[in-house]
């Protein structure tokens, strides 16, 4: 049995009715918005069309006035009554100057047969002078009725334009015609750049001026309610402005979209109200967790700030200690300088005593020899100490690696005296040179040797090894020890300032050494070797080769 319509309606889902009502509402909104948008656009277009028509009328009036003035000008009349080559040339020059002032395309004068005798373009390749225009309507109109008008394609220039003509002389005794040609390229270009295409039709419905060149000299297209038309004052023209359809449809679509969004927003608001209670509870939970997280973060920040303040205090103390050590270095250099003079005196007296001893007094002579040797050793140590304390000049030059190594061993020998350490070294060629600065290179080597010696403090089998590798362009030196090796925090970042494991250390030695080696164009880095328990540093320098 076929169900009745009421029973069918009862079986439809409940969401069908709201959907149908919404679609009907959107359709009504579309129709209303479409009509409102079209009416508004037509009102705007009518204003724009009147403005454009008045602009054309103003230009026509100005050029017609110029033609009327020229038709009665004494020079124009005289050139037509007494034609001569000189008179026509003078008139052409005047027309050329006048054309620049009034902004026409061309000004020219014809005789009563329509032959051009003078023209503003008289000196151009496409000059109108000598051309016959008696067949043109604007010439015959002017000769018969006093003035004429024709929109046509130029027979010489082949460019479209409006020809305004004025008779010279009376109807009974015509002398010729003054013609003003107007071209509307700039006006049409402005129309093409606008959002509303425009064109002008004459009394026959033929398109003259147009933003679309394909419509020129064609019948005006039918546009219906998608265009507005207004007459051009003081002419038989009418300006037609075509309305773009896109903005109308866009405005209608925007209106529909806004209403649809409002409906959707209302639906979402209704659903949101139902979820609000649940979300409120969830929000309170999230807020409590956020407060707890933020509290932990603030506690962590406070802890980090306290650590930073402690580190800052340590760094300030380290800087104070560095200043003390710098002052101590200056004092040491001064002491070494002051020791040299009395030390030289002691050595001279000992040598003089040797010369004065009789040949048989061997024990005294041996004691004096030891005094001379010890004085010479002290002089060598103080000389190295002054050289080490002297400020580097910053100039790189070939430096003997063997001499720098021996000087560094002597400077570091005082610490090895309290804790004997064996130093093993590969032989260094006497002619091996590296690009460096003697004082600063010794500073790097002494620092590496002293670090190794301090790591071996208290060991009876302490040993320092120096291994050398020479290539064509580079010299690599490995200085290692059999001590406990680098501490983990130092091994991860050995060149971090103020990082040290020594009780009285500053943590600046390796940092300074790395900066010095980089200035030399070399490299300094830890180089742990398999099977080696202690620390190992690799020093790489540029080798100098004789030119």
Q: Write out pLDDT tens, residues 364-412.
A: 777 777 787 777 667 655 665 555 555 555 578 999 999 999 988 887 7
Report pLDDT digits (tens) over 152-188: 998 888 889 999 999 999 988 999 999 999 999 888 8
What is the distance between the alpha carbons of residues 106 and 155, in angstroms, rounded to a whole number? 13
Rounded to a whole number of angstroms, the distance between the first and last alpha carbons of the chain is 116
Q: Has residue 89 been placed in a domain?
A: yes
DSSP labels, 391-439: PP----EEEEHHHHHHHHHHHTHHHHHHS--EEEE----TT-EEEE-HH
**By percentage, how much of the chain surpasses pLDDT 90?**
30
Q: Has residue 37 been placed in a domain?
A: no
Q: Has residue 432 been placed in a domain?
A: yes
Q: Has residue 102 been placed in a domain?
A: yes
Among 129, 150, 183, where does a domain finish? Answer: 183
Which run of H or of E encompasses 73? none
Q: Has residue 396 been placed in a domain?
A: yes
Q: Has residue 447 been placed in a domain?
A: yes
Among 183, 209, 244, where does a domain finish? Answer: 183
pLDDT at 117: 94
Answer yes or no: are the C-beta atoms of 178 and 172 closer than 8 Å. Answer: no
In Å, how far from its chain's centre is CA 372? 74
Q: Token pair of 330, please? A: 């200056």
List alpha helices for 146-244, DSSP H: 185-193
Mean pLDDT of the 74-87 span: 93
**What is the torsional sign of CA 23, 28, 29, 35?**
positive
Answer yes or no: are the C-beta atoms of 111 and 176 closer than 8 Å. Answer: yes
Residue 522, judged by CB atoms within 10 A of its CB (0-12, 13-18, 19+), counts as: buried
What is the distance between the alpha carbons of residues 220 and 230, in angstroms, rounded to a whole number? 14
pLDDT at 237: 93
Select from 465, 422, 449 the least CA-distant residue to 513. 449
Q: What is the CATH number of the domain that holds 160?
A: 3.30.450.20
Among 137, 153, 183, where does a domain finish? Answer: 183
Q: Has residue 218 been placed in a domain?
A: no
- Please give the DSSP secondary-structure letter assigned to residue 543: B
Q: Has residue 427 been placed in a domain?
A: yes
What is the distance between the alpha carbons of residues 237 and 514, in angstroms, rounded to a whole number? 91
Cα angle for residues 225, 226, 232 (degrees, 5° grid): 90
pLDDT at 386: 59
Q: Number of folded domains in the chain?
A: 2
Q: How many other β-carbons are positioned within 10 Å of the β-carbon of residue 61?
A: 13
Q: What is the CATH number of the domain that holds 460?
A: 3.30.565.10
* More confident: 13 or 504: 13
Tell me the residue range of the domain where 443 lies. Answer: 392-542
């Amino acid at each position: 049995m076929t169900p009745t319509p009421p029973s069918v309606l009862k079986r439809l889902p409940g969401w069908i009715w709201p959907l149908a009502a919404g679609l009907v509402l959107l359709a009504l909104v579309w129709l209303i918005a479409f009509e409102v948008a079209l009416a508004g656009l037509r009102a705007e277009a009518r204003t724009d069309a009147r403005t454009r028509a008045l602009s054309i009328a103003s230009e026509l009036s100005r050029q017609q006035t110029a033609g009327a003035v020229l038709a009665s000008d004494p020079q124009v009349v005289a050139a037509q009554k007494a034609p001569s080559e000189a008179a026509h040339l003078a008139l052409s020059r005047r027309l050329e100057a006048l054309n620049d002032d009034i902004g026409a395309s061309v000004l020219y004068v014809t005789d009563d047969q329509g032959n051009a005798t003078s023209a503003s373009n008289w000196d151009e390749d496409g000059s109108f002078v000598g051309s016959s225009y008696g067949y043109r309507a604007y010439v015959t109109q002017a000769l018969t009725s006093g003035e004429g008008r024709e929109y046509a394609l130029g027979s010489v220039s082949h460019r479209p334009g409006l020809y305004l003509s004025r008779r010279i002389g009376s109807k009974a005794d015509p002398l010729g015609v003054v013609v003003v040609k107007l071209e509307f390229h700039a006006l049409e270009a402005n129309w093409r750049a606008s959002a509303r295409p425009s064109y002008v039709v004459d009394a026959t419905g033929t398109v003259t001026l147009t933003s679309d060149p394909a419509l020129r000299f064609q019948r005006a297209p039918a546009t219906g309610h998608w265009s507005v038309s207004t007459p051009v004052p003081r002419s038989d023209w009418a300006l037609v402005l075509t309305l773009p359809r896109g903005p109308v449809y866009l405005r209608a679509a925007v209106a529909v979209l806004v209403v649809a969004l409002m409906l959707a927003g209302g639906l979402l608001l209704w659903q949101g109200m139902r979820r609000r209670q649940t979300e409120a509870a969830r929000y309170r939970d999230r807020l409590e967790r956020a407060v707890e997280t933020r509290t932990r973060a603030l506690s962590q920040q406070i802890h980090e700030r306290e650590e930073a303040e402690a580190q800052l205090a340590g760094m300030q103390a380290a800087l104070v200690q560095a200043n003390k050590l710098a002052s101590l270095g200056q004092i040491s250099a001064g002491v070494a300088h002051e020791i040299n003079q009395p030390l030289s005196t002691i050595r001279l007296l000992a040598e003089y005593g040797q010369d004065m001893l009789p040949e048989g007094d061997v024990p005294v002579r041996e004691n004096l020899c030891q005094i001379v040797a010890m004085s010479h050793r002290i002089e060598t140590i103080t000389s190295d100490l002054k050289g080490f304390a002297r400020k580097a000049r910053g100039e790189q030059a070939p430096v003997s690696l063997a001499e720098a190594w021996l000087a560094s061993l002597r400077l570091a020998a005082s610490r090895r005296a309290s804790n004997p350490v064996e130093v093993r070294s590969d032989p260094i060629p006497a002619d091996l040179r590296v690009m460096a600065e003697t004082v600063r290179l010794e500073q790097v080597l002494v620092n590496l040797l002293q670090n190794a010696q301090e790591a071996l403090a208290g060991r009876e089998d302490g040993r320092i090894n120096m291994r050398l590798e020479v290539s064509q362009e580079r010299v690599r030196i490995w200085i290692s020890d059999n001590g406990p090796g680098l501490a983990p925090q130092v091994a991860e970042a050995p060149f971090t300032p103020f990082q040290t494991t020594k009780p009285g250390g500053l943590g600046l030695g390796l940092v300074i050494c790395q900066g010095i080696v980089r200035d030399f164009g070399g490299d300094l880095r830890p180089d742990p070797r398999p099977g080696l328990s202690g620390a190992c540093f690799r020093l790489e320098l540029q080798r100098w080769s004789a030119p």
